[in-house]
């Protein structure tokens, strides 16, 4: 895969061996989850989006919780930039003392996003 912005197909292709058939109802065959994963992949480095905006971009307005679920069940092999998705108002949704909160803040800072008191700077928001 080339450096830079990866397409959804480039990220998703390794999940299933060539010529294999997916189980009926498998996570990777869910079109809503795929649309959410594509929306997350489209968030540029150094920028963030909210769960609600990701859902709207995926054509699922009002389904912010489904966006959160899609990130939770995404296969690790996809290497989604999950850290670029935050709650309303730019808030990291994980509890402040959790390893997930610290990891998200660390990854965002590594991309140049300011994180203070569990919130990202308004200038990093896409919407």
In-domain check, residue 65: yes
In-domain check, residue 106: yes
Q: Return the half-sphere exposure (C-beta side, CA atoms, 13 A cut-off) of residue 19.
A: 0
As a whole number, mean pLDDT of residues 12-34 equals: 59
In-domain check, residue 1: no
- What pLDDT was estimated at residue 29? 81
Tokens 């995404």 — which residue?
A: 74
By DSSP bridging, strand 115-116 and strand 119-120 are antiparallel
- What pLDDT was estimated at residue 127? 65
In-domain check, residue 63: yes
pLDDT beyond 50 at 19: no
Please provide residue 51's backbone torsions phi and psi, each rounded to the nearest 5 degrees.
-60, -40
Task: List, for residues 36-82, the tens digit of each pLDDT value.
Answer: 999 999 999 999 999 999 999 999 999 999 999 999 999 999 999 99
In-domain check, residue 3: no
- What pLDDT was estimated at residue 27? 67
In-domain check, residue 2: no
- What pLDDT was estimated at residue 126? 84
Model pTM? Answer: 0.78
More confident call, 85 vs 19? 85
Question: Domain span at residue 75?
Answer: 8-17+26-124
Task: List, for residues 77-122, the tens digit of each pLDDT value.
Answer: 999 999 999 999 999 999 999 999 999 999 999 999 999 999 999 9
In-domain check, residue 32: yes
- What pLDDT was estimated at residue 17? 41
pLDDT beyond 50 at 32: yes
Count the neighbouring beta carbons within 10 Å of the beta carbon of residue 6. Answer: 15
Contact 49, 82 (CB under 8 A): no
Locate the DSSP E strands across 48-110.
49-50, 85-86
Give the number of domains in the chain: 1
Helix, strand and coil in the chain, % to nearest 5:
50, 10, 40
In-domain check, residue 37: yes
Q: What is the CATH number of the domain that holds 81?
A: 1.10.10.10
């Amino acid at each position: 895969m080339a450096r830079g912005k990866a397409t959804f197909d480039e990220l998703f292709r390794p999940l299933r061996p060539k010529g294999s058939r997916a189980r009926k109802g498998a996570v990777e065959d869910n079109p809503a989850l795929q649309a959410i994963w594509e929306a997350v992949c489209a968030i540029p480095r150094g920028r963030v989006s909210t769960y609600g905006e990701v859902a709207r971009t995926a054509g699922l307005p009002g389904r912010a919780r489904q966006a959160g679920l899609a990130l939770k069940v995404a296969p690790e092999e996809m290497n989604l930039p999950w850290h670029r998705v935050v709650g309303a108002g730019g808030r990291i949704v994980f509890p402040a003392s959790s390893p997930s909160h610290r990891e998200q803040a660390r990854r965002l800072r590594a991309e140049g996003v300011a994180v203070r008191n569990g919130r990202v700077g308004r200038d990093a928001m896409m919407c």
